[in-house]
């Protein structure tokens, strides 16, 4: 029988895979894999793999002669990842302390995790350690909130109704949007030619309710913010107005969600 706490993490991860992955994360996996020049036969690590959308893309590209590993600290995410792709080598752990020997990967990839690492430079040092000489790094992070107006509107709504702690929880994914700050993280770590390519994709949620409930019930609790039901009801109701500019006649919410992909090589 599964421990109830683990079961709750698994349920959250299933919800993440069902709603957030197709709405926001899936389109970036091929872009990051292409930026990392993944080739058949390579050994590749996906860090902060979540439910494994990028690792699955990588596994297709490295083929049966290659090796793909995914790493994440969240046991719920890893359980879902393992169910979806049992042949990938899934590991529990953090980016700051990778459970792999030196120089064992041709490429290290990661999408939408770097902003949550407690020590980003230590994580980048660890990635450098496990890369082979000539190995390729590719990391995606969201552009700034200013360049993602639909989320900026939702953050402002949260600020007004639920206060700054809730608003900051939704700001957190966008904190590495400044490319100078982003590339500055690579200073003096030994990487060659860290460069940033900014691209955009369309986020797509089936409804305003689906988007806002995913954020309030799926994301805010991850950041330690639980809102009372009365506030959630008010947020859901007012979000219909605030997000109207991004809502089609069919109720589907679509908007640009730009991101930066940083690439660098280990000399």
Ligand X SMILES: C[S@@+](CC[C@H](N)C(=O)[O-])C[C@H]1O[C@@H](n2cnc3c(N)ncnc32)[C@H](O)[C@@H]1O
Return the CA Rg of the chain: 19
**Binding ligand X by CB under 6 A: which of 21, 161, 172, 196?**
21
Distance of CA 198 to the CA centre of its chain: 16
Kindly tell me which of 68 and 94 has the beta carbon lying closer to ligand X: 94
**Binding ligand X by CB under 6 A: which of 10, 12, 25, 79?**
25
DSSP bridge pairs for 240: none
> Please, what's the b/e burial string for 231-262 (b: 16 or more CB within 10 A of its CB; e: otherwise)?
ebebbeeebeebbeebbeeeeebebebebbbb
**CA gap 8, 14 in Å, rounded:** 10
**Binding ligand X by CB under 6 A: which of 19, 84, 104, 116?**
116
Is residue 235 close enough to count as binding ligand X by CB under 6 A? no
Question: Of 100-108, 116-124, 127-135, 158-166, which segment contacts ligand X by CB under 6 A?
Answer: 116-124
| Residues 31-90 interacting with ligand X (rule: CB under 6 A) | 47-50, 53-54, 72-74, 77
| Residues 96-115 interacting with ligand X (rule: CB under 6 A) | 96, 111-113
**CA gap 204, 1 in Å, rounded:** 36
**CA gap 30, 161 in Å, rounded:** 37
**For residue 158, what are the contacts with CB-CB under 8 A and spacing of at least 6?**
166, 167, 170, 235
Nearest alpha-carbon partner for 22 in 167, 214, 176, 243: 214
> How many residues of this chain interact with ligand X, rule: CB under 6 A?
21
Kindly tell me which of 177 and 247 has the beta carbon lying closer to ligand X: 177
Q: How far is the CB of 244 from ligand X (least distance, A)?
A: 26
**Binding ligand X by CB under 6 A: which of 42, 79, 94, 136?**
94
In the bound complex, which residue of the shown chain has the CB atom lying closest to ligand X? 50
Give the footprint of ligand X on this chain (CB under 6 A).
21, 25, 47-50, 53-54, 72-74, 77, 94-96, 111-113, 116-118
């Amino acid at each position: 029988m599964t421990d109830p706490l683990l079961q709750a993490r698994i349920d959250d991860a299933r919800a993440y895979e069902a709603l957030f992955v197709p709405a926001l994360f899936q389109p970036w996996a091929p872009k990051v894999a292409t930026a990392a020049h993944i080739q058949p036969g390579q050994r590749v690590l996906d860090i902060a793999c979540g439910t494994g959308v990028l690792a699955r893309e990588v596994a297709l590209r490295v083929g049966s002669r290659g090796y793909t590993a995914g790493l994440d600290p969240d046991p719920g995410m890893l359980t879902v990842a393992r169910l979806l792709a049992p042949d990938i080598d899934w590991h529990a752990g953090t980016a700051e302390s990778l459970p792999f020997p030196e120089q064992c990967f041709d490429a290290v990839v990661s999408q939408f995790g770097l902003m949550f690492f407690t020590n980003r430079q230590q994580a980048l040092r660890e990635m450098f350690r496990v890369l082979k000489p000539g190995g390729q790094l590719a990391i995606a992070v969201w552009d700034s909130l200013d360049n993602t107006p639909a989320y900026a509107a939702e953050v402002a709504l949260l600020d007004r109704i639920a206060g700054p702690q809730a608003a900051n929880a939704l700001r957190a994914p966008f904190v590495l949007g400044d490319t100078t700050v982003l590339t500055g993280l690579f200073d003096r770590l030994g990487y060659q030619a860290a460069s940033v390519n900014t691209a955009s994709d369309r986020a797509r949620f089936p409804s305003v309710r689906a988007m806002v409930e995913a954020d309030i019930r799926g994301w805010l609790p991850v950041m330690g913010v639980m809102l009372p039901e009365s506030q959630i009801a008010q947020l859901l109701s007012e979000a219909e107005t605030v997000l109207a500019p991004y809502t089609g006649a069919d109720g589907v919410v679509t908007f640009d969600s730009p991101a930066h992909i940083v690439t660098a090589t280990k000399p």
